[in-house]
Structure 1
Amino acid sequence: MFTRFFLLFSILLIAASSASAQEGSLSPYSFLGIGTKAFRGTVENRSMAGLGMFSDSIHLNLKNPAAYSDLGLTAFTAGATANSVELETTTSSDNLNYFTFDYLAIGLPFDNLGVGFGIKPRSAVGYELEEITPNRISRFEGRGGLNTAYFSAGFEPLKNFRLGATANYHFGDIENKSIIFANQVQYASREINFTYIGGFSFEAGALYNLNLSEKINLNFSGRYETGSSLDVNRRRELATIQLGQNETEIVINEVELNPLDTEIELPEMYAFGLGLGQKRKWFVGLEYENYTAGDFSSLDFNFGAQVVQKEASALRLGGFFIPRYNDPVSYFKRVVYRAGIRYEESGLEYNGEDINEFGISFGLGLPAGRVFTNANLGVEYFERGTTSNNLIQENFISVFFSFSFNDKWFIKSKYN
């Protein structure tokens, strides 16, 4: 048992290091604030439009901690996404591809209690922009983002009624760089902002199943996340530079300004869901999320007067169907077929335009190996932003996949 825990802890440390180093976004909108949203749920969630209100005994639901009380086996899961995005303006377009690690998590059942821990991304920054005017050329680059290490617990105080809570620690660093080449000026000006962020937030969740008949269940869900202050340490470097071969930046003169300690405010979130289904057969659910306006104004180098952070919301409709979960002959009758559709108001307004999203997703849950181990595949097409007012519309095709390994731990031996 100790060996298993040591191995899992080592994997989590490696995952944390990898998540900090990866390029989690190639979106121009990640320039603003702490970046674009990076975690949208497990592959199972995302295949149903990010629906976070369903739980069972062999899958982890990282969006609602109450779901941990449903676990019947120890579950270990990891997920990743391959992204292809078209950046479109009124006059041109460009295509980019990138790969992201999405999450690593484990859930452990103990009688009427389930616990879980893991790591997942919170936000991602990754962009390269260039602006050309008659008098100057401006280049902007950014990388980094926030990651979240979490611990969750869920239990069932009353039959069919489950409660859960999560403690999150958010951490990460963001680097924003700008270089300006002015006409008839020998050297270029460079500014680099290094931002280090850390702090806690907390979540609570509830799930309730009402038996309408012998087969049909009505499902209710609720989630809440505290709005929280994260500590920010900012360091700023100003320099005059000259470009050498292969765009190498040769520093002529450099000044480092005094570090600045400040804070940002993450938004408060609440969500409600209603679903209908038959156990191990089918499910369809509708979920609404609402976010208060976050406050990132202390990051004034990329959050100016043209940026407004407002209340945000999301509406999700999704579900699944299993032809026959225990069919002894047909493999495809045991496959889980998932689908969903969503619309999100991001709460971000830039140059007077709302930056919203619309997406549609599909997925498969594939039985693999022994003891309910499974692979999950999904694909989503979604649009973000607009071409109005000289902005950029992003058209994504994301293919995501995960493995969920299940085993029996902490089971007392019945024989000596």
Structure 2
Amino acid sequence: MLMRIKLYTCLLLLLLGAASVKAQHGLNSIYSAYGIGDLETRDYSRNYGLGSTGIGRRNSGYLNELNPASYSALPTQNFMFDVSIKAQQVNYSGAGISQNAGDVNFKRLALGFKAAKFWGISAGISPFSTVDYKLLNNQFITGTGNPVTATTTGTGGINRTYISNGFQLNKHLSVGVSTAFLFGPLNTAQTIGSDSLVTQHNKYTFKPNFTAGAQYVAKVAKGWQLGLGATYRFETKLKLQEKLNIVNQDETSYYTEQLPAGYFTLPAEYGGGLSLTNGTITWVADYRHQLWNTLRNKGSNYYYQDGERYSTGVEYALTRKYYNQTFEGAIMQAGFSYNKSPLVINGAQITDISGTLGLSLPSKNGQLRYYVGLEAGQRGGSNNGLVKENYVNAVFNFSLRDIWFFKRLAE
């Protein structure tokens, strides 16, 4: 059994490495060119097929980072390990635009365990924002009447690495806190015409961020349990260190300058959720609100206003009983989400609407679970000079559960 567990762990790490190496950055999303990039609103755990909903859900079967208070429900003597990969296909349409793009990327690595009867811990890393775009426009050189093509590309993004703790105060109430570090590069590069020189603006940030959560559960009818959850992510001011580089196509540097640091304020966000379950059927619903209106993050043709996200989902789990204990078998999910992005471009707020499906299957020994989540949706629009994105996402999640601190009986 030990060799089998090691084999599964090695396979998961290889999958993670393959996803990182073979990722194809071809999405070219114009919406990632603003601020600190395209902010991530989805959860790449078992919540994905439920519209990334789970603030009010208390479940011992998976790692739920949507609410750190949920980790107090982790089973004792268990070690859990998750890895998620996302594949995406997008069609872009707008004024004179019609093209397709695809991408494969790592989205989540997490582990968790029960440190004490009342205390659960999880740690992991996932993207917080993504920068991936390429823009072409015509510019005129002083003294000539001929336009030349300027190419601007953006790459990078901010990552979130965290350690979360959940504490059970009594049989109904749990609280938790997630201590995260936001870090990563935000890079742009510009080339004009056939010039071999590339002007690079490379930014980097590193800043802690905190999220608090609470959950309350109680029986409301025979066999049914109601869960209520709330979260609050604290405001964080990001300091962006910036360096200017002028290099040639071979990356030989001609000029380097450390520019004055810039700042970007990530606003507070609060959320609430509820769940209703009898162990077989589960219904969940969430609401999240980002407080951008009090901030001054804006550019020449864009600004931010309060963002909102609504989501809901239904799950059906086949269960089986062994020695008076209930175990989950196949799990089927369906969900829906509507996201009013805080980003406003040319006076139009960017919206994102999608539907999701999810399927989770256990291995024969029950230690490994395979999860596939599918999502189809639309973001943005073709009016006001914007681009409409019709997308299909597929998420593959592998979850390993092992027994820790188990003492064998003497023979």
TM-score between the two structures when normalised by the length of structure 2: 0.85
SS at match of 1:257: strand
CA contact (8 A) 2:26 2:101 kept: no
| CA pair 135-125 structure 1, distance change in 2 beyond 3 A | same
Letter in 2 for 1:47: G
SS at match of 2:258: coil
Gaps of 5+ in 2: 140-145, 323-327
What's the C-alpha RMSD, in Å, of the aligned pairs?
Answer: 3.0
Map 1:10-409 → 2, pairs under 5 A: 18=20, 23=25, 26-38=28-40, 40-53=42-55, 54-72=57-75, 73-109=78-114, 110-132=116-138, 135-181=147-193, 187=195, 190-238=198-246, 248=249, 254-279=254-279, 281-293=280-292, 297=297, 304-322=299-317, 324-326=318-320, 334-409=329-404
Gaps of 5+ in 1: 242-247, 298-302
How far residue 327 of structure 1 moved from its aligned partner, in angstroms, is: 7.4
SS at match of 1:411: coil
CA distance in 2, matches of 1:250, 1:124: 24
How far residue 412 of structure 1 moved from its aligned partner, in angstroms, is: 4.6
Letter in 1 for 2:224: I
| CA pair 224-293 structure 1, distance change in 2 beyond 3 A | same
CA distance in 1, matches of 2:245, 2:400: 47
CA distance in 1, matches of 2:109, 2:89: 22
Letter in 2 for 1:288: Y
CA contact (8 A) 2:24 2:103 kept: no
Cα distance per residue 1:73-108 (max 9 Å; x no partner): 221110011100111113331000110101111011
| CA pair 415-66 structure 1, distance change in 2 beyond 3 A | farther
| CA pair 116-187 structure 1, distance change in 2 beyond 3 A | closer
CA distance in 2, matches of 1:187, 1:402: 44
CA contact (8 A) 2:45 2:64 kept: no
Letter in 2 for 1:175: N
Letter in 1 for 2:98: S
CA distance in 2, matches of 1:82, 1:365: 17
Letter in 2 for 1:349: V
Cα distance per residue 1:238-263 (max 9 Å; x no partner): 57x7xxxxxx5798x94433332233
How far residue 124 of structure 1 moved from its aligned partner, in angstroms, is: 0.7
Letter in 2 for 1:310: Q
CA distance in 2, matches of 1:250, 1:219: 55
Aligned residues: 386
Bigger Cα displacement from structure 2, 189-198 vs 133-142: 133-142
How far residue 179 of structure 1 moved from its aligned partner, in angstroms, is: 2.4
Letter in 2 for 1:292: L
Cα distance per residue 1:99-135 (max 9 Å; x no partner): 0101111011132211011111111111112124773
CA distance in 2, matches of 1:414, 1:210: 37
SS at match of 2:124: strand
Percent of residue pairs bearing the same amino acid type: 25
CA distance in 1, matches of 2:165, 2:133: 37
CA contact (8 A) 1:23 1:144 kept: no
Cα distance per residue 1:158-177 (max 9 Å; x no partner): 11221111100111112111
SS at match of 1:67: helix
How far residue 385 of structure 1 moved from its aligned partner, in angstroms, is: 1.1
Letter in 2 for 1:125: V
CA distance in 2, matches of 1:370, 1:381: 33
Cα distance per residue 1:126-161 (max 9 Å; x no partner): 111212477332211011011111001112111122
SS at match of 1:389: coil
CA contact (8 A) 2:190 2:199 kept: yes
Cα distance per residue 1:5-38 (max 9 Å; x no partner): xx99x969x87x959x984953111111111124
SS at match of 1:87: strand
CA distance in 2, matches of 1:200, 1:138: 37
